[in-house]
């Protein structure tokens, strides 16, 4: 099956030949999809220059993924949206990046549309016997929106439907009723009509997708449409100039009473050859004379009888071929699934998580192929083994409410928004960014909640600012708090605060994260793209009045945080790196789908496990550099994870969400 894709792009009133807001990529026959077309529209002028970069990111993430088609779309859109959100965090309001994107994946005569934004998408039914039905795909949040990002997916059968994608400016020139009347006229006529109506608009982007099996004469690009427009203008001049035209030495009048509706329609299309062939009256033909005779009716009955039996025999023959073909296909699929199961068992022995995941995905793909045939018990048993392998490899533990250690009921503060959790012994500390306070909670005395830090209160003649970061030093058993006035405080045993002098912090433009390891204070300065360290003076252990030293510079700007637990880690929204002589990426081989919304990590230095909070996929992931993916825990509340904190004994993990603290036991 082949497709016809026509598009035109007008910028500042000029037709641009190469559309910068469309990416078109084709794959070979071994791929689960044949083609992906990405249609974008920037929602503001500042986003125009970034469109190509983020379209390439969507395309490369989609092509490089090993998930299903819908999974690839969701992953690529989420990765791109997270990157835009991070870039928007430190941008002025007028510099926010906002892009509407519609991704169309072609496979097996169908299209899966992944839509994120305000693009106009029309789905037009192909029909000849009735008025075609037209559906409009609902708008969603665009890339860069502050709302919860939820792209919309829909599958369209191209053998029965056409697709039109356009920027939202289309409806400013053509109203909904007019647009629907244009789209009901068929693919060729509709595309031409839209171009003619939109030719004078300043900025517009339109794409029309159709199956060209039924129509081999579809428009061939903007040059063709330009010629149509000029020809239409020429027709109008002639129409106003003279009421008569001469074709092939025949006089045709333009009075409506003498020309049929079809004739006027052809004339409107400027197709002179069709007009010249229009017959305004009918003469009796030899064929109509023959049909009236009785002997013809008898022979016609015999002809229909012959055609019926011939069709029946042909159908029976091809049905038998189809049955044999189905059996051969099922035998081949059964053979391949058995091979996949054997490969999976070998991968377990070799401890090759990546090969295990590849063979499971291959098995699932074969199951999808076999689903269209009639299946016997033998192949169904193979299906169960593939699903069992997937379940074993996913190792997904679904947590329930019994795993909640603490449930928040707004008794801490009004507008309670817990952002960071730190745990030591029986004590929990919560950084509440909603009220700019820090609370201490003792699980041995549940009714005792102490406020240890509040913005705009004075300690030793120092006016406390808004708390930004909170971290704990286990060796010293001390809690440290850093506020927006570049003050660092340490909590003493009597719950008082002592200020620690910090030097030259004015050189740092954006302190994204802060950690204390041994006696060295590490700070991630996001704007300057480096990690710096402050070492205390030998005489005064709590006096950091020394020069700042750069530990690591030219860090990727997508890095959002760092974590110090004997080993040094930094992370972005979808990747984790260990810092040694260079950044070493955590591959997490064998995972079902890679994290796309990392909000925090924790590291168990005894087992070398890294725990990753992935809010997009509502889960906690456990993996290591040596063994790859290990386990995952999921819960619907994990879409709102704020922070992770390991038990002192490393036997469990506390997960902070907006409504509760979950306690995950790691030794079960």
pLDDT of residue 267: 28
Residue 316 has pLDDT above 80, yes or no: no
Q: How far apart are CA 605 and CA 391, in angstroms?
A: 28
Residue 591 has pLDDT above 70, yes or no: yes
Query: What is the per-residue pLDDT across 328-367, written as a single tens digit (0 to 9) for each?
Result: 777 888 888 888 888 889 888 888 888 888 888 888 888 8
- What's the pLDDT band for 474 if we cut at 50, 70, 90? confident
Q: Please state the rounded mean pLDDT for residues 575-603.
A: 87
The answer to whether 259 and 278 have CB atoms below 8 angstroms apart is: yes
* Residue position matching structure tokens 């025949």: 250
The answer to whether 421 and 429 have CB atoms below 8 angstroms apart is: yes
User: Which two three-digit tokens encode residue 220?
Assistant: 């061939």
pLDDT of residue 610: 94
Q: Helix or strand or coil: residue 491? A: strand
Helix (H) or strand (E) holding 585: strand 583-585
pLDDT of residue 613: 95
The residue ranges of every structural domain in the chain are 3-229, 244-276, 288-394, 398-510+558-665
Q: How far apart are CA 267 and CA 261, in angstroms?
A: 10
Q: Say what the pTM is.
A: 0.53
DSSP 8-state assignment for residue 54? H
Residue 165 has pLDDT above 50, yes or no: yes
Query: What is the per-residue pLDDT across 120-141, written as a single tens digit (0 to 9) for each?
Result: 998 888 776 567 788 888 888 8
- What's the pLDDT band for 315 if we cut at 50, 70, 90? low
In sequence order, which ranges of 242-376 are alpha helices (DSSP H)?
Answer: 261-268, 272-276, 286-291, 294-350, 353-370
Q: Helix or strand or coil: residue 620? A: strand
DSSP 8-state assignment for residue 544? B
Query: What is the per-residue pLDDT across 24-81, written as a single tens digit (0 to 9) for each?
Result: 887 766 677 888 889 998 888 888 888 888 888 998 888 888 888 888 888 898 889 8
- Helices (H), strands (E): how many in the chain? 12, 40
Does domain 398-510+558-665 fall under CATH 2.120.10.30? My reply is yes
pLDDT of residue 374: 67
299 or 523: which carries more pLDDT confidence? 523
- What's the pLDDT band for 652 if we cut at 50, 70, 90? very high
User: Which two three-digit tokens encode residue 12?
Assistant: 């500042």
- What's the pLDDT band for 603 if we cut at 50, 70, 90? very high
Residue 601 has pLDDT above 90, yes or no: yes
The region of weakest confidence among 114-123, 319-328, 614-623 is: 319-328
Query: What is the per-residue pLDDT across 197-256, written as a single tens digit (0 to 9) for each?
Result: 887 788 888 888 887 555 555 554 444 454 444 444 444 444 444 443 333 333 333 333
CA torsion 159-161-166-168 (nearest 10°) is: -150
What share of the chain in percent tops pLDDT 90? 10
Q: What residues form DSSP beta bridges with 524?
A: 513, 531
Residue 312 has pLDDT above 80, yes or no: no
Identify which of 492, 493, 495, 505 has the alpha carbon closest to the alpha carbon of residue 544. Answer: 505
The region of weakest confidence among 147-156, 266-275, 325-334 is: 266-275
What share of the chain in percent tops pLDDT 70? 78
Query: What is the per-residue pLDDT across 361-409, written as a single tens digit (0 to 9) for each?
Result: 888 888 877 776 667 777 788 888 888 988 888 899 999 888 998 888 7
156 or 233: which carries more pLDDT confidence? 156
pLDDT of residue 663: 94
pLDDT of residue 243: 40
Query: What is the per-residue pLDDT across 282-291, written as a single tens digit (0 to 9) for each?
Result: 344 444 444 4
Q: How far apart are CA 423 and CA 459, in angstroms?
A: 24
601 or 150: which carries more pLDDT confidence? 601
Beta strands in 501-548 (DSSP E): 511-517, 520-525, 530-534
Query: What is the per-residue pLDDT across 635-647, written as a single tens digit (0 to 9) for each?
Result: 998 989 999 999 9
CATH number for 3-229 (one of 1.10.8.60, 3.90.226.10, 3.60.40.10, 3.30.420.40): it is 3.60.40.10
pLDDT of residue 91: 76
Q: Please state the rounded mean pLDDT for residues 258-277.
A: 27
Residue 108 has pLDDT above 80, yes or no: no
Identify which of 146, 47, 49 has the alpha carbon closest to the alpha carbon of residue 97. Answer: 47
- What's the pLDDT band for 410 if we cut at 50, 70, 90? low
Q: Helix or strand or coil: residue 372? A: coil
The region of weakest confidence among 352-361, 415-424, 493-502, 657-666 is: 493-502
Query: What is the per-residue pLDDT across 166-211, written as a single tens digit (0 to 9) for each?
Result: 988 888 888 888 888 888 777 767 777 788 788 778 888 888 888 7
Q: How far apart are CA 369 and CA 344, in angstroms?
A: 20
Q: How far apart are CA 117 and CA 541, in angstroms?
A: 54
Residue 522 has pLDDT above 70, yes or no: yes
Q: What is the mean pLDDT of the chain?
A: 77
């Amino acid at each position: 099956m082949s497709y016809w894709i026509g598009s035109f792009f007008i910028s500042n009133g000029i037709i641009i030949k190469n559309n910068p807001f469309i990416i078109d990529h084709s794959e070979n026959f071994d791929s689960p999809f044949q083609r992906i077309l990405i249609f974008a529209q920037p929602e503001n002028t500042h986003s125009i220059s970034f469109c190509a970069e983020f379209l390439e990111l969507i395309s490369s993430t989609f092509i490089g993924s090993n998930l299903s088609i819908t999974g690839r779309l969701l992953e690529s859109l989420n990765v791109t949206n997270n990157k835009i959100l991070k870039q928007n965090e430190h941008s002025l309001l007028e510099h926010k990046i906002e892009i509407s994107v519609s991704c169309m994946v072609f496979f097996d005569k169908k299209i899966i549309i992944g839509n994120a934004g305000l693009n106009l998408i029309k789905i037009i039914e192909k029909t000849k016997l009735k008025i075609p039905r037209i559906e409009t795909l609902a708008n969603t949040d665009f890339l860069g929106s502050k709302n919860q990002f939820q792209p919309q997916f829909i599958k369209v059968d191209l053998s029965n439907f056409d697709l039109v994608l356009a920027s939202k400016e289309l409806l400013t020139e053509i109203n909904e009723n007019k647009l629907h009347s244009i789209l009901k006229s068929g693919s060729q006529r509709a595309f031409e009509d839209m171009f003619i109506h939109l030719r004078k608009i300043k900025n517009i982007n339109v794409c029309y997708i159709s199956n060209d099996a039924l129509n081999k004469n579809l428009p061939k690009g903007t040059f063709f449409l330009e010629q149509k427009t000029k020809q239409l203008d020429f027709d109008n001049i002639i129409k106003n100039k003279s009421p008569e035209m001469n074709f092939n030495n025949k006089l045709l009048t333009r009075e409506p009473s003498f020309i049929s509706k079809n004739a006027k329609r052809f004339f409107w299309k400027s197709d002179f050859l069709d007009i010249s062939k229009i017959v305004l009256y009918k003469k009796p033909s030899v064929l109509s004379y023959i049909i009236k005779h009785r002997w013809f009716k008898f022979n016609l009955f015999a002809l229909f009888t012959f055609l019926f039996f011939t069709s029946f025999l042909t159908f029976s023959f091809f049905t038998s071929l189809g049955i044999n073909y189905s059996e051969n296909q099922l035998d081949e699929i059964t053979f391949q699934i058995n091979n996949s199961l054997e490969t999976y068992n070998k991968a377990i022995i070799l401890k090759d998580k990546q090969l295990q995941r590849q063979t499971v995905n291959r098995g699932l793909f074969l199951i999808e192929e076999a689903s269209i045939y009639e299946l016997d018990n033998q192949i169904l048993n193979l299906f169960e083994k593939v699903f069992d392998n997937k379940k074993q490899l996913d190792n997904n533990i679904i947590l329930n409410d019994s795993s909640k250690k603490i449930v928040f009921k707004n008794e801490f503060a009004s507008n309670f928004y817990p952002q960071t959790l730190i745990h030591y012994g029986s004590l929990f500390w919560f950084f509440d960014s909603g009220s700019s306070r820090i609370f201490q909670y003792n699980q041995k005395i549940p009714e005792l909640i102490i406020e240890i830090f509040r913005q705009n209160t004075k300690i030793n003649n120092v006016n406390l600012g808004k708390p930004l970061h909170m971290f704990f030093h286990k060796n010293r058993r001390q809690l440290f708090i850093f506020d927006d006035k570049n003050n660092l405080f340490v909590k003493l045993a009597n719950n008082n605060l002592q200020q620690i002098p910090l030097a030259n912090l004015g050189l740092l433009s954006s302190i994204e994260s802060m950690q204390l390891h041994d006696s060295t204070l590490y700070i991630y300065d996001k704007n300057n793209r480096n990690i710096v360290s402050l070492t205390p003076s030998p005489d005064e252990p709590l006096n950091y009045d020394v020069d700042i030293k750069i530990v690591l510079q030219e860090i990727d700007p997508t890095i959002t945080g760092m974590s110090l637990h004997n080993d040094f880690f930094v992370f972005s929204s979808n990747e984790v790196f260990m810092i040694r002589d260079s950044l070493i990426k955590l591959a997490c081989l064998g995972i079902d789908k890679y994290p796309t919304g990392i909000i925090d990590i924790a590291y168990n230095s005894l087992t070398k496990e890294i725990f990753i909070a992935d809010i997009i996929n509502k889960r906690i992931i456990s993996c290591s550099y040596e063994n790859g993916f290990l386990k995952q825990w999921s819960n619907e509340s994990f879409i709102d994870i704020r922070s992770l904190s390991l038990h002192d004994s490393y036997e469990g993990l506390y997960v902070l969400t907006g409504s509760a603290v979950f306690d995950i036991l790691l030794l079960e």
